[in-house]
Chain A
């Protein structure tokens, strides 16, 4: 009896310690993050700023990045593609999310499934599927020429059209879901109140619904933009020489040229730009919403 009691005491004490300092409970998770994310990140910094031989720090890689406009072009292309993708996703995603949030439960379910099912398919498989659909002898061109709408097959592949179609398809769920999450929790009484006070449906939407859903739109836009900046497979498969993104060049520098210091510098520059975008989005929509941890 006494033995059992004695051994029980420390475990109770331990439990009290956890309760007193709940921070301890996430120590394991923090350690995991430190090892898996922080350490590689630090070695990335190390590579990017290491000097020749073992002689301390150096800004050589940074000045190379600043001096070589090949990489500036690639950054510009990457941002251009990301911006266009974000815009198209917003234009398609907002009405879609609006319909999802306001329609009956059966159609809403169907619309949700239509967004989510491709979301669960591999990006590579989807990009390859687009190659089959959009090609010179692909399904789309066969139909268009078969119906007499086009005389010759249109160039839908290996240019920015192909890239945009592929990327919008892959990234659309990241736009739809945050907007839908806001719209579906919007008090339907608010636009109704506006209508009852004499506003037209359009005015009610513009002055009530749209402003209230802007944080969702901002969150979606930030997510889509951030993912698009780091996109690699889709532009590489569906794009042409004008769609060469910075991710492709980083891959070349790291894997083909084995120039890890410069690759690290390019990666850090990309990371910095993504962080900047996140900060802008966070200022507008709140960081929690973008990270998917919105408070209710």
Chain B
């Protein structure tokens, strides 16, 4: 009896399931099993950058895996802190720079990257300097000498940091970054003072600041964000600017009288980082393996002029395209990498070099005024 009733119940359930399947069958094709594969949220910078990423990364990834990619942002450290502290983590992956990552590592807001879960062949094409424990470099920006071509036509621009520091030989208003989470440009100060680019680290902090003092009277505006810097350059308010080279190239393409000198530039990565408490670890690594592919990165580089981290990307780019990218083999040789470890190192007072120098920068700015 029990057996039979059990059987019959099972058969009823099966029948019911079958019936509902039959009824639902026309919709099965319309709504594929995406919901089951989950969703990841990538916090990035919005604008043309996110649009390009959606086109060459997010949508193809969704098609390939069935995992939905939602974008949000901006990936500010303070926002991540609020999320992690409140236990309401809605972001999985961040697209952010090293200073932000260092601050977040210190505040225990990030998950270390498990490099064993990443594709060895693809990873091998990305310079080892970009394999940070908490961030994998994917899009390379660089601080370069960006200048107004009306003030410096036909290759008369300053070509070294010593030139930028030389207000007699190279007349013109300078602009350097301050605040906005940016560390002081101490490497350039040291190089302008005669330190070779490959011996910049470990930084001789006092020597760099002494050189930085000499820059002060030459600077018209200490800008707080890069868009402002580009605006000042293209309106002719500023002649020489230490800012993000790729941003200068975007403006150049739009017709602004701006160009970029790659020589002496400081390369730094924007990274994929994983938020602590992200619940979709498997999907996150699937995503990372998808987007560190050289071909995918090359497609992105065609849309936004930031350097792809994978050297494999240049196999898919023309020579003319490579010339305007800061990570092409030629341009790479003219520049140096930001030493992430040095900036992230904890000093005697328990803070990182980055935090200490940002604070010292504010102190320098206020007191010398």
A residues apposed to B, CB below 8 Å = 69-70, 73-74, 77, 131-132, 135-138, 157-158, 236-237, 240-242, 244, 248-249, 251-252, 254-258, 260
Contacts and interface: CB of A to CB of B under 8 A. Distances in A.
A194 B362 CA distance: 57
B368 A241 contact: yes
Contacts of B76: 255
A255 B181 contact: yes
Nearest to B355: A257
A252 B224 CA distance: 11
Contacts of B236: 136-137
B174 to A, nearest CB: 12
B220 interface: yes
A154 B368 CA distance: 23
Contacts of B26: none
Given A135-B235, A136-B173, A136-B237, A256 B358 contact: yes
Contacts of B181: 255-256
B180 A256 contact: yes
Interface of A is mostly: helix
B358 A241 contact: no
Contacts of A255: 76-78, 181
Given A242-B369, A248-B179, A258 B222 contact: no
Contacts of B359: 257
Given A240-B221, A252-B358, A157 B365 contact: no
Interface residues on B, range: 20 to 34
Nearest to A255: B78
B365 A244 contact: yes
Given A136-B237, A256-B181, A257-B358, A244 B369 contact: yes
Interface in B259-293: none
Nearest to A249: B362
Given A136-B236, A157-B237, A256 B179 contact: yes
A237 B366 contact: no
B246 to A, nearest CB: 22
A241 B221 CA distance: 8
B117 interface: no
Nearest to A72: B366
A258 B224 CA distance: 17
Nearest to A134: B237
Nearest to B109: A258
22 contacts: A69-B367, A70-B367, A73-B366, A73-B369, A77-B366, A136-B173, A138-B237, A236-B224, A237-B224, A237-B228, A240-B221, A240-B369, A241-B216, A241-B365, A244-B362, A244-B365, A244-B366, A252-B358, A252-B362, A256-B103, A257-B355, A257-B358
B81 interface: yes
Contacts of B355: 257
B369 A258 contact: no
A85 B312 CA distance: 57
B253 interface: no
Contacts of A69: 367
A258 B237 contact: no
A44 B107 CA distance: 19
Contacts of B173: 136
Interface in B93-110: 99, 103-104, 106-107
Nearest to B175: A158
B363 interface: yes
A134 to B, nearest CB: 10
A132 B362 CA distance: 27
Contacts of A260: 81
Given A158-B220, A258-B77, A258-B78, A252 B367 contact: no
A257 B368 contact: no
B320 to A, nearest CB: 33
A126 to B, nearest CB: 16
Contacts of B368: 241
Nearest to B76: A255
B103 A74 contact: no
A137 B235 contact: yes
B179 A258 contact: no
A237 B237 CA distance: 13
Interface in B161-193: 173, 178-181
Nearest to A73: B366
A258 B355 CA distance: 9
Contacts of B179: 236, 248, 251-252, 256
A135 to B, nearest CB: 5
Nearest to A256: B181
Contacts of B216: 241
A136 B221 CA distance: 12
Contacts of A70: 362-363, 366-367
Contacts of B362: 70, 244, 249, 252
- Residue of B81, B220, B228, B362 ringed by the most chain A CB atoms within 10 A: B362
Given A70-B363, A136-B237, 10 more contacts: A70-B362, A136-B173, A138-B237, A158-B221, A240-B221, A240-B369, A244-B362, A248-B179, A257-B103, A258-B107
Contact of B222 (A132, A241, A249): A241
A39 B237 CA distance: 45
Interface in B186-242: 216, 220-222, 224, 228, 235-237
